[in-house]
Amino acid sequence: MVKEIVTVVERCVACKACEIACAVEHSATKSLIGALFETPRSEQRVRVMPAGGYSYAVRCMHCEDAPCIIACPTGAMQRYSLTDSVFVDESRCIGCWMCTVSCPFGAVTANRSYQTALKCDRCPDRVTAGQEPACVEACPTQALLFTSVEEVVGQKRDSIAVRAIAAATASQKQANVPLWRTLKGAM
């Protein structure tokens, strides 16, 4: 079961802890203080953006048919088989930015310091070691989750079922009708 980074938009408070954790994880020192003094400075691969009254952590979605992989003329955009994540082989990247143009999420940007593409790689070292990606671990409100799509869908179904039964039970008690009739009317 492949795990994805899933965003629960209602929980994001735009604290940007995910951005900081990402930059630190991809720094040479892997420490906040060290990362601040590195040259060139480590850049985050996730960006928290305002969206209406909410905030959203824009990052690579590691598409199954990744347009960035298809558009890359040198094969620098690749898929890591162990984690099923898309990453940039910086040694092959020529800075043509075809990947940035083709990404439907705006998640691939230019690392101007190295003239290479920059994007979320889903922290393969952490994931293969059984840890969560740095952005997920750092999120204080659990707006970012590292889970499978099946688990998310199952949790939503469970939540809807609980709310439907609670609402039907409350209206059944008020109307004094059998519960099965109340549930049938709710469908």
Instruction: Give the per-residue SS3 of 109-147.
Output: EEECCCCEEECCCCCHHHHHCCCCCHHHHHCCCCCEEEE
- Cβ-proximal residues to 96 (8 Å cutoff; 6+ apart), any chain: 73, 74
Contact in structure between 78 and 85 (CB atoms under 8 Å): no
Inform me whether the pLDDT recorded for 182 exceeds 70.
Answer: no
Which of the residue ranges 62-71, 148-157, 168-177 would you say has the lowest mean pLDDT?
A: 168-177
The whole-angstrom distance between residue 185's C-alpha and the CA centroid of its chain comes to 38
Q: Cα-flanking dihedrals φ and ψ of residue 147, to 5°?
A: -155, 175
Please state whether beta strands 47-51 and 54-58 pair in parallel, antiparallel, or not at all (unpaired): antiparallel
Give the closest residue to 45 by CA, choosing from 129, 110, 137, 112. Answer: 110
pLDDT, position 90: 95
**Could you report the per-residue pLDDT of 15-52, keeping only the tens digit for each?**
999 999 999 999 999 999 999 999 999 999 999 999 88
Of 93 and 148, more confident: 93
**Could you report the per-residue pLDDT of 100-156, keeping only the tens digit for each?**
999 999 999 999 889 999 999 999 999 999 999 999 999 999 999 999 888 888 888
- The model's confidence at residue 174, banded by pLDDT at 50, 70 and 90, is low
Tell me the fold of 1-59+122-147. Answer: Alpha-Beta Plaits (3.30.70)
pLDDT, position 58: 95
Inform me whether the pLDDT recorded for 187 exceeds 70.
Answer: no
Domain 60-119 has CATH 1.20.58.220: no
Inform me whether the pLDDT recorded for 184 exceeds 60.
Answer: no
Of 111 and 180, more confident: 111
Q: Judging by beta carbons within 10 Å of its beta carbon (0-12, 13-18, 19+), is residue 119 exposed, middle or buried?
A: buried
